Copies of this chain bind each other. A is one copy, B any other.
Amino acid sequence: MALSSLFTVDEYGHRCREILPRGLFDVLFGTHGDPWFQSHTNNLDGFTRLHLRPRVLAGVEERSLSTTVLGQKIEIPVMIAPAGSLQRCHPEGELAATRAAGRMGTILALSTASSFSVEEVAEAATGPLWFQLYFFKDRELNKILIRRAEAAGYKAIMLTVDNVTERTWEREYRADFTLTGAPASILQRPTTGLKQTRSDPGSMYKTFATIDRPNLPSSENFHDVLEKNLQWSDVDWLRDQTSLPIVIKGIQTAEDAALCVEHGVDGLVVSNHGGHTVNGLKGTIDTLPEVTEAVGGQLEIYLDGGVRRGTDVLKALALGARAVFIGRPTFWGLTLGGEEGVFSILEILKNELFIEAGRCGVKDLAAVSRSLVVYEGLESLAARY
């Protein structure tokens, strides 16, 4: 795989579709025949319907792409979203992705469902990390995970709130493919040490490797041991467990954004889980304006879902996001090149951002304002009425 022949993030995705087994690709990323894909399409279409309004003669030779998130400086407003078991696409999984993030000077948010332990990833890291928490019925387990993340130096706890009740297995059934099989063999890559792991049911998620609790989460029982009754009082409970900043991932309405403010969280991610949780969801970039308005600057807003170009980042920033996360592209980069592939994805976005900021008259990404974008067709309404 010559990464140098791939010029855009989408080309990484297209290449992965060519080389990955169809079942694995479909389960991980979805396809057009998949009804759930409609939510993902809403994410992508939302960006297309937004048009840019570039300013000129703004003296933008020097441009800054950096910003801060929760007080931590990052070099580009693009972070790596938590994603379950990155080893499914590359033996080095989260270790590789973490190294790529560190090289770029940005943050990776480690999934609870990681292929490597919290400590292993922290050890590999050259930059800051956040820890994404799936909230388990077993409160003690949640505490243990938080303690370990704190001890390992993670900078924030990101609570995922949108994938906690029963799920459908429709995609898996249709593809006749589940993610508990050994991806290494599928990918025809060296799999030393990996196959053994796979043959040990329940140990797919290394996050729980050294914890001594009954009924620990595994890829088989994961959704069963989650706290399906998750509610705002659990956020308050979480607030009491740690002094780390708390970020809520999975906000899709102004109403819940207002509750985030009320419950004193530090940030929220406008996300529909890449469209994987329910079909027919509103696209995240279309949700962003109502969230921005509801939040009124009282906490930081991030977005994931459909970010593929530097211009997508600009559009999200224009509508109120402080930074964005990428999900599918991390898998694509890992699949095609491990750490190098993920870094290359980040570099493409950085280069695009630098060029596009210049061509849009933007000196400082952190200062991008609402007037940078206009909704397709609305100029017509404005012109006549």
A binding-site residues for B, Cβ under 8 Å: 7-8, 10, 35, 38, 42, 47-62, 161-163, 165-168, 170, 173-174, 228-232, 234-235, 248, 250-253, 255-256, 259, 272, 277-283, 286-287, 289-290, 309, 311, 315, 319, 351-352, 354-356, 358-360, 371, 374-385
Query: B57, A256: Cβ atoms under 8 Å?
Result: yes
From B48, B277, B279, B289, contact of A280 by CB (8 A) = B48
* A278-B380 contact in complex given A59-B231, A228-B61, C-beta closer than 8 Å: no
A61 is contacted by which of B52, B61, B229, B355 (Cβ under 8 Å)? B229
B255 x A55 contact (CB < 8 A): yes
Contact B166 A355, beta carbon cutoff 8 Å: yes
- Cβ of A8 to closest chain B Cβ, rounded Å: 7
Instruction: List B contacts of A61 (CB < 8 A).
Output: 165, 228-229
A278 close to B170 (CB less than 8 A): no
Instruction: Flag if A253 contacts B358 (CB, 8 Å).
Output: no
Contact B162 A278 (CB under 8 A): no
**A contact patch SS:** mixed
How far is B26's CA from A270's CA once the two chains are assembled, in angstroms?
37
Identify 5 new A-B residue pairs, CB closer than 8 A, beyond the known A7-B170, A49-B377. A47-B280, A54-B162, A56-B256, A168-B351, A280-B309
Which residue in chain B gives the minimum CB-CB distance to A54? B252
Which of B10, B57, B279 is A309 in contact with, Cβ under 8 Å? Answer: B279
Please give, as numbers and ranges, the residues of chain B lying within 8 Å of A358 by CB-CB distance.
Answer: 165-166, 228
The interface residues of chain B lying within 8 Å CB-to-CB of A229 are 59-62
Q: Hey, which chain B residues are within 8 Å of A163, CB to CB?
A: 359
Known: A167-B355, A378-B384. A234 touches B57 (CB 8 A): yes
Q: Are A379 and B55 in contact (CB under 8 A)?
A: no
**Residue from A7, A51, A259, A311 whose CB has the most chain B CB atoms within 10 Å:** A51
Q: B252–A53 contact, CB under 8 A?
A: yes
- Indicate if the CB atoms of B309 and A54 lie closer than 8 Å: no
Least CB distance, A265 to chain B, in whole angstroms: 11
- Residue on B nearest A357 in the bound complex, by CB: B165
